[in-house]
C-alpha cells in the first residue's frame, strides 16, 4: 500500500512528521467507505513513508480531552454528561494530562441490568492453566510493572500493583489493593478497606469479617473441614519472643452507654450444632486438642501464663500433677453437690481439708498445724489429739464413742459424719 492511498481516499487526512522518521495521522471520518482488505471505519497509519508495517496510532498532541469515543445515538442515553455526551458508552482518555496513562471508561444507562458498565472478557480455545503458584496463568490477566529507562523493571517492595476504587462520601476511595512482596521471601499482600465476606452470604453490620456459606466435602479425604490454616512458618534471626501459627490480639473498646455486657473475650467458642444421622460419634467436643509438643523445656497442650482458669466442671481421665505447687482456696464438690451441700470436700487456706455439711460449716476437717490434727463436729466437737495417732471417735447426738488408742483398720464417713470405726 502506497502513501497515495491516503491522499486519494482521504483528502482531509493530515500527515504529521514526528521528526524521527515516523509519521502520525489525525483524522475525523464518518461513514468511511471500505477499502480492499479493510473493514468499514478502519484506519491504517504508516510508521514511515516506505515501511511495510502499519499501526493505528492516534496522536492528540497537547490536547487533554478524550482521544477516542464510542457512541450509540438513539439507543444509549446515560445522562452523565459531566463525564461524556449522553450517547457515548465508551471513552478513552489520558489518566493525567502531562504524564499519560490510559483511562478506559464504560458508561451505561438505567434501562438494562443493574451492572456491567465496564466488562472485560477472555476466551481460550484450550483447557486453562490450573497452576497455583507465581507461574500460574489465567483466562483474564492484569499485568503491571515499573519501568527503568527504556526497559521494564521490578515493582518496588510492597508496591501497590492492583487496586479497586469507588466514589464514597463525595471522594474516590480505595477499597482493595494487591501489593508486591514486602521482601523476597514474603508473598504479596491483599489490603481491604472493609471486611472479608465469603460463602455467598451478605455482609452484616456487627461483624467485620464473615466467613459463611455451606460446604459439602467431595469425599477425596478421610476428613472434612470448614476452615484450615496450614503451611510452614520459618523464623528468621531475631525472632526470639515467639513463633506462633495464629496470633489473636484484638483491642476491644466497650460502648459508652451504661449497659451490662455479659461476656468480653478474645476468643469465644460455641458447641458445634451437630445433626447426627446414622453415624456413631466417638468424641464430640467444642475444643479438641490432639496432642502437646515435646521439643520445649516445658511442654503443654494448654499453657496459661497468668490469670485464673475457671472450670465449671472437670472430668479427669489421667493423673493430676501439681509439680510441687500448693492448692489453695479450691473446692472439690461431691457429685450433684453444691458448695454448701452434704458430703462436699473442699481444700481451704491454711492447709485445711474439710467435709462440709448443708449448713455451710465443716463436719470434719484436718489441720496441719500445732493444734488439732482431726476434728469431727456435729453440734459437739470431738478432738482427736496430735499424740493419739490411733484414737478415733464417732459422734452421735451430744456424746461420742471413744475407741481409745487402739489400731484402727477402717473409718466409715457418711455425709461428712464418722458413722463407724473398726479396730
DSSP track, 301-369: SS---SS----S----SS----TT----SEEE--TT--TTSTTEEEEETTTEEEEE-TTSSEEEEE--S
Picking from 4, 128, 14, 8, the residue whose alpha carbon sits closest to that of residue 60 is 14
* Within-domain flag for 406: yes
Cα dihedral sign for 265, 267, 270, 271?
negative
DSSP track, 90-154: EEEEEEETTTEEEEEEE---SSS-S--SS------SSPPP---STT---SS-----EEETTEEEP
* Within-domain flag for 335: yes
Q: How far apart are CA 417 and CA 379, in angstroms?
A: 11
Cα dihedral sign for 216, 218, 224, 229?
negative
pLDDT at 288: 95
> Rounded to whole angstroms, what are the CA distances from 34 to 39, 42, 226, 233, 319?
6, 8, 60, 64, 93
Buried-state track 28-55, b at ≥16 Cβ within 10 A, e below 16: eeeeeeeeeeeeeeebebbeeeeeeeee
CA angle 192, 195, 200 (to 5 degrees): 115
Q: How far apart are CA 18 and CA 25, in angstroms?
A: 10
Domain boundary among 169, 196, 223: 196
pLDDT at 344: 47
* Within-domain flag for 95: no
Question: What is the DSSP code (8-state) at residue 5?
Answer: H
Q: How far apart are CA 365 and CA 346, in angstroms?
A: 9
Q: How far apart are CA 291 and CA 16, in angstroms?
A: 78
Total tally of structural domains belonging to the chain: 2
Q: Which residue has the cell 458447641?
A: 271
pTM, 2 dp? 0.59
Q: How far apart are CA 416 and CA 411, in angstroms?
A: 12
* Within-domain flag for 181: yes
* Within-domain flag for 341: yes
Bridge partner list, 104: 92
* Within-domain flag for 351: yes
pLDDT at 50: 44
The answer to whether the CB of 103 falls within 8 A of the CB of 93 is yes
Dihedral pair phi/psi, residue 5, rounded to 5°: -60, -40
Domain that holds residue 342: 330-422
Within 13 A of 341's CA, how many CA atoms are on the CB side?
A: 12
* Within-domain flag for 296: no
How many CB atoms within 10 Å of residue 389? 11
Within 13 A of 391's CA, how many CA atoms are on the CB side?
A: 17
* Within-domain flag for 178: yes
**Residue 94 burial (C-beta neighbours within 10 Å; 0-12, 13-18, 19+):** middle
Helix H or strand E encompassing 7? helix 4-9
How many CB atoms within 10 Å of residue 25? 19
Tens digit of each residue's pLDDT, the chain (423 residues): 333 334 334 444 555 566 666 655 544 444 444 444 444 444 554 444 444 344 456 777 788 888 889 999 999 999 999 999 999 999 999 988 888 888 999 999 999 988 889 998 898 999 999 998 888 999 988 888 888 888 888 888 888 888 988 889 999 899 888 888 887 666 778 888 888 888 888 888 888 888 888 999 999 999 999 988 888 999 999 999 999 999 999 999 999 999 999 999 999 999 999 999 999 999 999 999 999 999 999 999 999 999 988 888 777 777 777 776 666 555 554 433 344 444 444 444 445 556 655 555 656 555 555 554 555 555 444 444 444 444 444 444 445 555 555 555 666 665 555 666 666
The answer to whether the CB of 355 falls within 8 A of the CB of 345 is yes
Amino acid at each position: 500500500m502506497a502513501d497515495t492511498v491516503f491522499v486519494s481516499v482521504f483528502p482531509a487526512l493530515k500527515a504529521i512528521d514526528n521528526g524521527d522518521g515516523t509519521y502520525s495521522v489525525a483524522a475525523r471520518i464518518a461513514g468511511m467507505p471500505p477499502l480492499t482488505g479493510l473493514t468499514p471505519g478502519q484506519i491504517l497509519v504508516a510508521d514511515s513513508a516506505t515501511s511495510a508495517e502499519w499501526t493505528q496510532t492516534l496522536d492528540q498532541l497537547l490536547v487533554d480531552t478524550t482521544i477516542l469515543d464510542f457512541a450509540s445515538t438513539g439507543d444509549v442515553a446515560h445522562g452523565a454528561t459531566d463525564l461524556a455526551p449522553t450517547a457515548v458508552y465508551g471513552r478513552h482518555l489520558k489518566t493525567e494530562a502531562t504524564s499519560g496513562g490510559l483511562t478506559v471508561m464504560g458508561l451505561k444507562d438505567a434501562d438494562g441490568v443493574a451492572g456491567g458498565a465496564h466488562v472485560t472478557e477472555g476466551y481460550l480455545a484450550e483447557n486453562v492453566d490450573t497452576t497455583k503458584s507465581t507461574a500460574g496463568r489465567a483466562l483474564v490477566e492484569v499485568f503491571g510493572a515499573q519501568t527503568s529507562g527504556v526497559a521494564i523493571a521490578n515493582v518496588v517492595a510492597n508496591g501497590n500493583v492492583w487496586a479497586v476504587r469507588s466514589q464514597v462520601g463525595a471522594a474516590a476511595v480505595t477499597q482493595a489493593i494487591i501489593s508486591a512482596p514486602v521482601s523476597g521471601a514474603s508473598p504479596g499482600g491483599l489490603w481491604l478497606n472493609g471486611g472479608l465476606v465469603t460463602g455467598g452470604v451478605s455482609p452484616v453490620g456487627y461483624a467485620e469479617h464473615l466467613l459463611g456459606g455451606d460446604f459439602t466435602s467431595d469425599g477425596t479425604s478421610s476428613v472434612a473441614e470448614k476452615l484450615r490454616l496450614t503451611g510452614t512458618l520459618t523464623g528468621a534471626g531475631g525472632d526470639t519472643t515467639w513463633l506462633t501459627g495464629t496470633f489473636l490480639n484484638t483491642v476491644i473498646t466497650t460502648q459508652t452507654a451504661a449497659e451490662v455486657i455479659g461476656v468480653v473475650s478474645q476468643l469465644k467458642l460455641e458447641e458445634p450444632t451437630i445433626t447426627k444421622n446414622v453415624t456413631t460419634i466417638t468424641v464430640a467436643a467444642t475444643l479438641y486438642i490432639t496432642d502437646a509438643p515435646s521439643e520445649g523445656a516445658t511442654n503443654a497442650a494448654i499453657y496459661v501464663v497468668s490469670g485464673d482458669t475457671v472450670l465449671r466442671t472437670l472430668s479427669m481421665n489421667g493423673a493430676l500433677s501439681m509439680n510441687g505447687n500448693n492448692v489453695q482456696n479450691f473446692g472439690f464438690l461431691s457429685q450433684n453437690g453444691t458448695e454448701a451441700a452434704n458430703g462436699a470436700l473442699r481444700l481451704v487456706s491454711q492447709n485445711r481439708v474439710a467435709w462440709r455439711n448443708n449448713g455451710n460449716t465443716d463436719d470434719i476437717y484436718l489441720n496441719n498445724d500445732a493444734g488439732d490434727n482431726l476434728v469431727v463436729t456435729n453440734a459437739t466437737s470431738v478432738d482427736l489429739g496430735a499424740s493419739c495417732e490411733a484414737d478415733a471417735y464417732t459422734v452421735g447426738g451430744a456424746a461420742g464413742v471413744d475407741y481409745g488408742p487402739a489400731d484402727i483398720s477402717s473409718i466409715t464417713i457418711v455425709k461428712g459424719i464418722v458413722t463407724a470405726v473398726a479396730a
